[in-house]
Amino acid sequence: MTAIAAEPVTMARALNRALADALAADDRVLVFGEDVGTLGGVFRVTDGLAARFGEARVFDTPLAEAGIVGTAIGMAMNGLRPVVEMQFDAFAYPAFEQITSHLAKLHNRTRGRMELPVVVRIPYGGGIGGVEHHSDSSEAYFAHTPGLRVVTPGTPSDAYSLLRAAIECPDPVIFFEPKRLYWAKDASPLTTGTPLDTAVVRRAGSDVTLIAYGPTVPTALESAAAADVSVEVIDLRSLAPFDDATVCASVRRTGRAVVVHEAPAFLGYGAEVAARVTEQCFHYLHAPVARVTGFDIPYPPPMLEEHHLPNVDRILDAIERLQWDDTVVLPDA
């Protein structure tokens, strides 16, 4: 691991630094998408890159997400390493076919003869007061697709190291950036060398494992600090592949688990986590794996989103209901 900076930086700044360092390190890396050039991205994640690296390597494209990903695939077929931006979560849907039918499959289809080192950056999640189509958590759609790696950082330093690793990875990576953490600061040094497929224990604890990722990591840590039991917090970082070893080692020690995410519960990422933990840790569990998630509703308008997003109270409530005293607790609804 090489330490690069130790002053506090925001996640947006850390991502910007990762893109700049990747562009500087490898001529094959390109950055393109809507508004990423002159403007520097609507969240300024690509700020200054076009000026520094030139319009040939960092450029604006037409407003066409399938076109952005489809052309990135063709560029990767010809040896380049495109990093493309989908401006917001829900605006990535036009690219869904290119991502799931081609980006995810070409390596397997060609028996490994073609590599698709494409990174699709998707700002995602709510909590920023966005109007409709600006706050979706669409990670399950992509994590469900074999061949894609799906990664999401929970801290600025992880944002740097995971994005660097994603750009160097021979597999296509869907890189979900939690919008509401773009301005979160972290004084940890920016380093490379973090593996792309491992979860990390953010806070050690002994009574219950709180499993979070991306935007819910700070919420989980806040909940752990407020809980009256000892809470271990895991930041998954990699949604696909799933780090069974780190999660199961923790749950086997604590005997209880709660998964937290913003996306709806039904067939959401937490369902897979609950199933995997149950399959692998059944005899260690004292209670069913609980989920604290967004509700099974279309993402709310901004003035109501606080009711939808998992918060400390709901997480603490879920922890309290983990059958600590063996009394039967009826599940919600």
Site residues (vs other proteins, CB under 8 A): 30, 56, 61-62, 64, 66-67, 69-80, 94, 97-98, 101-102, 105-115, 146-147, 149, 169-171, 197, 241-242, 244-245
Cβ at position 128, least distance to other proteins in Å: 29
Which value, in Å, is the radius of gyration of the alpha carbons in the chain? 20
The dihedrals phi and psi of 146, each to the nearest 5 degrees, come to -60, 145
Query: What proportions of the chain, in percent to the nearest 5, are helix, strand and coil?
Result: 40, 20, 40
Options 102, 134, 261, 308, the catalytic residue: 134
* CB neighbour class for 321 (10 Å; exposed up to 12, middle 13-18, buried from 19): middle
How far does the chain reach from its first CA to its final CA, in angstroms?
A: 48
Token pair belonging to 137: 């958590």
Cβ at position 288, least distance to other proteins in Å: 23
Is residue 43 within 8 Å of 19, Cβ to Cβ?
Answer: no
Cβ at position 194, least distance to other proteins in Å: 16
Q: Hey, how many other C-beta atoms are within 10 angstroms of the C-beta on 79? A: 9
Is residue 89 within 8 Å of 132, Cβ to Cβ?
Answer: no
The Cα 96–Cα 68 span in angstroms is 11
The Cα 47–Cα 40 span in angstroms is 4
β-bridge partners, 291: 259
* CB neighbour class for 266 (10 Å; exposed up to 12, middle 13-18, buried from 19): exposed
Residue 75 or 322 with smaller CB distance to other proteins: 75
> What is the CB-side half-sphere exposure of residue 120 using CA atoms within 13 A?
34
Q: Which residues have CB under 8 Å from 79's CB, separation 6+?
A: 28
The dihedrals phi and psi of 192, each to the nearest 5 degrees, come to -105, 170
308 is catalytic: no
Is residue 213 within 8 Å of 143, Cβ to Cβ?
Answer: no
- Active-site residue numbers? 134
